[in-house]
Structure 1
Amino acid sequence: MMRFAWLKCRDDSSMPFAVYVSFNRYFRLEPLLSSHASALEQFHSWVLARIILSLIDSAQSWQPEFSVELPAPLTLHGLQSFVSRTERNLPLDDDMKVVADALSIERVQALIASARVQAGRKFSVLLMDDAALTLTPEYLIEFLDIVRSLKSIDLAPKASVYPGTTEVSPKFHQGQDSVAIPVWVCIEDPGYDDVMDGIADTRVKDFQSTPADVRVMLRFAAFGIPRAYLTMLDEFHRGDHRTAQQGVTRTIQEHLDARLAEFRSLGKKVPKLASLVEAGEKVLDGIVREIKLFNEGVGGKGYRQLTVGVVEGELTPVVERMFNLLVEAGLTYDNLTVKHGTPSRIYRRYIPHAANLLSIRAIGGGGSGGSMRQTVEAIGFKSAKHPVRKSLQRIVPEVDLGSLSLSLPKCASCHTPRLADSQRFCHNCGQQLVDASTFSQCLETAIAQVPGLTVWQRAQIDEHLPNLKTLRDFLAKQDPAADLLTVRGFGRRRTAKIVDVLNGFVDEYLS
C-alpha cells in the first residue's frame, strides 16, 4: 500500500512529494547491541543514510527526474558503503565514521525540503516500510524518536507497525505524536468483494475465466489480504486437481498451513512470546469450534456467524497481547468493541481466519460430504446480529489464561527454561545465562535446511564448498557468488538464483 501511495504521489502533481524507504534489513544490525558501545548511534546513522539513499532513488524516478545535491562530506558512494558495511557487521574505517558523524535529522529534513521544491510540491511524505523493528526493542525506541523528530510543518513521516510485537517508546505517544490508521479490509465490509475482485481482475490474467464459486471461496479465504487472494488464484490455476472442489480445498488448506507456520515462527523469533503463541493457537482453535457449533444450530435459517465476543474483563494485558499476536499474523481480525449496556456486557469482537472456518466446515454445514455450492450459499448469508458470547475459559478450558505470562529465554547450553528474569546462571547445568539472539539463531541455520534449494544444489554445495555450511558462512563472505561459480554446473543465472534464495530466507526469517 505504501508503494502504491508512492506511485500515486509521483504521477499526480496535486499530491505531496513522496519518499519510500524500507528498513527490512534492520535486524542485521542486532549483533552491534552486544559488540559495540555505540550501537544505537550507528543505528541512528544507518536509518538516516537509508532515507537519503531512498530520497535519491525517488528523485531519479520522479517525473520529470531531478538530482539531490549532497553536502560534503556526504557522497552517494560513501552512503552506500556505510549502509553495506553496517548491514554486514564489518568495522567502519575512518571515512565511514566521517559519513556517520555527518548524518543528522536537520540535514535529512533539509535535503527532503530541497527535493520537494524541485518537484514543485507543497508538502512531503516519508513512507517508512518494515519499520516495526519488532525483534530489537532497543532499536525501536531509537527509531520512533527519529520518526518523531523528522516530523515538521511540511514533512509527514508514515511508518508501518504491527499490533502484537511492536513496543513503543516511553517518549512516543499515540494520538499526540501519531495517528493510527488500520489498513486491513474487514471480511464483513460491504465493499469487500468489490475491492478484492477489482485488484484480482487487474493482476490475474485468467481471472474472468475462473469459475464464480471458486472466486467466492478463495476471496472469502483470503480474509481481506489481496496478496493472499492473488496467490491462491495462481495456485488454483497451476494446480493439478480432478475437480474444482478438490483444487479449492487443497489451495485453502495450504494457505492456512502457511499462515499458522508464520504465526508459530513468532515464538522462535521472539522467545519471550513463545507461551503466548502456543496459547493463542489453542484459543483460535477453540473460537473456530464455537462458531462451527453456533452455525450448525442456525443452519438453514439464512444467517451465518463469523464473530466471537470476548468480555472486556477477560482481556488482561497479557491476554490482549496474545490476541494482538493473532491479529498481527493475520489469523484473527479485531472488529472493535460493542456495548450492550452494563460493563459485564461490553464485548471485544474477534473474527477468526476464514480459511480456518472453511477447513473444518464451520460454514455451510458440518458434514464431510457437503458440496462447494452449499458453502458458497452459506457465505452469502446475512451475518448474525450478535457475536457468539461465551467465556474464554469455557471456550478453551485447557488453557489457564489467568497464569499466562511471557516466556523467559532458555539456557543456551542445555535448553532448560530459566526460573526468573534476574537469574544469571542455569539451575540445571550451571552455565552463565545470556539473552537469546534471533539473528544468531538464524545464522546458525544450515544451508541444507533452507527451503527453495534443490536436492542437487544442496549436494553440490556440500561436496564442493565444505566451508559453506551455515548462513553465517554465507553472509560472512563479501562475494559469495564468486565461490558458488566455482562449482561445476553453477552458471551465472543458477548462482544468482541460489544467492537470492539464501538472502530471501534470511530476510523472511527476520521480517
Structure 2
Amino acid sequence: MHSLLKSRFESKVFESLINEKNLLNLMCFAAYGIPRALLNMISSICIEDEDGEVSVNLTAKNTLKEIKNSHDSTYNIYDSLKIKLPMYRNFIDTGSNFYEQTLKIIKEFNKGSDVGKQSSIIAIKRPVSAELEKVIGFFQYAGLLSPNSISNRGGKGVYELYEIHYAAIIDRNIFFSSKAINSEKYVEAFSNRPNHHYPRHLEASLVPEDNLDQAFSLALPSCEVCKSPRVSDKAKFCMECGAKLQDASIFEDIVSQDIELLPITTARADSIKQSSKIRKIKDILMDYDNKELRKVNMIGPAWAKKIKSYAEEFIA
C-alpha cells in the first residue's frame, strides 16, 4: 500500500503521510486490500491551494472520519441489493441484524484481551442453513465478510470461519473496548492477529429464532401486469394499475413445492437433489448466482440459466 501511494502522489505528499505512520497504516488496514479504497480515503484528506500545491491534513479525526465513510460506502453496496434483488429484501434485512450481532459478539469477545489476541473473526458451527449461507454470500459480494478457513474441533464440531472487514472493526471500535481508538495499538493488533483465537457460535445465536419464516421468506413478486413493486406484502391490489396481486399464502405454497414439478426429467431432478442443497423451487430462486446448480454434473451455465427460468415461470 505504501508503494502504491508513493507512485501515485508527489514525494512531498508521501513524506507527509509517512510522518504519521500509525494513522496511515490504520487507513491501509481499513482499505482491506483494495487499493481504490485507500486512494479514495487519502484523496479526501488532500488539500489543493490556489497555486496547485497539494498538502495532506492527516489527523486522527480525519482518519477515523474517512474510515467511517469507507465502511459506509461498502455497506451501501450490501444494502443496495434490496433494490437490485427485491425478492431477497427480507433476507437482506435479516442480514443487517446478523451483521450487527456478529460485531457485538466479536467486540465482547475481545474485551480484556491483550494486543496480540484481538480477533476479527467469527466462527459459525456447521451445519449452516441455506438461508444464512445466502445472507453471508450477499455480504461476501459487498466485501464486508470474507471466508477465512474451516476449523475442525473433532467431537466439538466443524466451524466455518469468516473475517470482518477491517474498516468495520475500526469504525465500530471492536478492539480493546476502550472509549477512544489508539491508532498505534490498533495497527499492532492488526499486524499480530491470532490464528486460533475467535468466538465460536451456533447459527441460532446469530440469527433470532423467533419468526424465522418471515426473516428468511422470499418477498412477493411485483405486479404481473405493470411490473411495479409492491408498497407492502399485505397489499391486495397494485397501486399503479389496480391489478390484483398474488396472495402471500399462495405464493409460499408455490415456492415450497418440489423441483420435480418443473419441466425437467426425473433423473435430472434426482441428480440436482443428490449433488446440491436444492430441494424446493424456493431453493432455485434463492440460488441467485446459480452456484448450487453448477455443482451438479452435466449442468453448465446454459442449463443452469434454463432451470432458473423454469422456476421463475412457475411462480409467474
Q: TM bucket by the smaller chain?
A: 0.5 to 0.7
Distance change (3 Å), C-alpha of 1:332 and 1:414: closer
Deviation at 1:402, TM superposition (A): 6.1
Distance change (3 Å), C-alpha of 1:319 and 1:400: farther
Correspondences of 1:377-456 after superposition (within 5 Å): 377-397=188-208, 400-401=211-212, 404-411=216-223, 412=228, 415-417=231-233, 426=237, 431-433=243-245
* Residue 237 (str. 1) matches residue 50 (str. 2): no
* Residue 354 (str. 1) matches residue 170 (str. 2): no
The Cα offsets for residues 414-442 of structure 1, whole Å up to 9 and x where unpaired, read as: 623279xxxxx7499962449xxxxxxxx
- The aligned counterpart of 2:62 is 247
Correspondences of 1:49-128 after superposition (within 5 Å): none
The Cα offsets for residues 458-503 of structure 1, whole Å up to 9 and x where unpaired, read as: xxxxxxxxxxxxxxxxxxxxxxxxxxxxxxxxxxxxxxxxxxxxxx
- Return the alpha-carbon distance in structure 1 between the equivalents of residues 89 and 218 of structure 2: 7
Q: Check the 8 A contact 1:241/1:247 in 2, yes or no.
A: no
Larger Rg: 1
State the Cα RMSD in Å: 3.0
Distance change (3 Å), C-alpha of 1:338 and 1:401: farther
- Return the alpha-carbon distance in structure 2 between the equivalents of residues 317 and 396 of structure 1: 13
- The aligned counterpart of 1:202 is 7
Deviation at 1:370, TM superposition (A): 4.0
Distance change (3 Å), C-alpha of 1:246 and 1:387: same
- The aligned counterpart of 1:257 is 72
Deviation at 1:383, TM superposition (A): 1.6
Distance change (3 Å), C-alpha of 1:377 and 1:256: same
Q: Check the 8 A contact 1:279/1:399 in 2, yes or no.
A: no
Deviation at 1:207, TM superposition (A): 3.2
Distance change (3 Å), C-alpha of 1:384 and 1:338: closer
- The aligned counterpart of 1:219 is 28
- The aligned counterpart of 1:318 is 131
> Residue 386 of structure 1 aligns to which amino acid in structure 2?
H
Could you say what secondary structure the match of 2:46 adopts? helix
Could you say what secondary structure the match of 1:209 adopts? helix
The Cα offsets for residues 33-69 of structure 1, whole Å up to 9 and x where unpaired, read as: xxxxxxxxxxxxxxxxxxxxxxxxxxxxxxxxxxxxx
Q: Check the 8 A contact 1:303/1:384 in 2, yes or no.
A: no
Between the two proteins, the alignment pairs up a number of residues equal to 230
Q: Check the 8 A contact 2:16/2:56 in 1, yes or no.
A: no
- Return the alpha-carbon distance in structure 1 between the equivalents of residues 109 and 35 of structure 2: 29
Q: Check the 8 A contact 1:413/1:431 in 2, yes or no.
A: no
Listed as ranges, the gaps of 5+ residues in structure 2 are 49-54, 247-316
Q: Check the 8 A contact 1:319/1:401 in 2, yes or no.
A: no
- Return the alpha-carbon distance in structure 1 between the equivalents of residues 73 and 83 of structure 2: 16
- The aligned counterpart of 1:37 is none
The Cα offsets for residues 278-303 of structure 1, whole Å up to 9 and x where unpaired, read as: 11121111111111111113135x32
- Return the alpha-carbon distance in structure 2 between the equivalents of residues 405 and 379 of structure 1: 38
Could you say what secondary structure the match of 2:80 adopts? helix
TM-score, structure 1 normalization: 0.41
* Residue 287 (str. 1) matches residue 92 (str. 2): no
- Return the alpha-carbon distance in structure 1 between the equivalents of residues 71 and 210 of structure 2: 23
> Residue 124 of structure 2 aligns to which amino acid in structure 1?
V
Distance change (3 Å), C-alpha of 1:389 and 1:427: same
Listed as ranges, the gaps of 5+ residues in structure 1 are 1-195, 420-424, 435-511
Distance change (3 Å), C-alpha of 1:276 and 1:208: farther
Q: Check the 8 A contact 1:200/1:207 in 2, yes or no.
A: yes
Deviation at 1:332, TM superposition (A): 0.7
Deviation at 1:318, TM superposition (A): 1.6
Q: Check the 8 A contact 1:308/1:350 in 2, yes or no.
A: yes
- Return the alpha-carbon distance in structure 1 between the equivalents of residues 95 and 24 of structure 2: 30
- Return the alpha-carbon distance in structure 1 between the equivalents of residues 199 and 162 of structure 2: 10
The Cα offsets for residues 163-215 of structure 1, whole Å up to 9 and x where unpaired, read as: xxxxxxxxxxxxxxxxxxxxxxxxxxxxxxxxx33333333443343121122
Could you say what secondary structure the match of 2:218 adopts? coil
Q: Check the 8 A contact 2:125/2:158 in 1, yes or no.
A: yes
Q: Check the 8 A contact 1:304/1:384 in 2, yes or no.
A: no
Distance change (3 Å), C-alpha of 1:320 and 1:388: same
Could you say what secondary structure the match of 1:383 adopts? coil
Distance change (3 Å), C-alpha of 1:222 and 1:408: same
Q: Check the 8 A contact 2:46/2:56 in 1, yes or no.
A: no
TM-score, structure 2 normalization: 0.64
- Return the alpha-carbon distance in structure 1 between the equivalents of residues 72 and 209 of structure 2: 23
> Residue 170 of structure 2 aligns to which amino acid in structure 1?
L
Could you say what secondary structure the match of 1:337 adopts? strand
Q: Check the 8 A contact 2:67/2:171 in 1, yes or no.
A: yes
Distance change (3 Å), C-alpha of 1:272 and 1:399: farther
Could you say what secondary structure the match of 1:297 adopts? coil
> Residue 307 of structure 1 aligns to which amino acid in structure 2?
I
- The aligned counterpart of 2:260 is none
Could you say what secondary structure the match of 1:298 adopts? coil
Identity %: 23
- The aligned counterpart of 1:119 is none
Equivalent of 1:337 in 146, 150, 153:
150
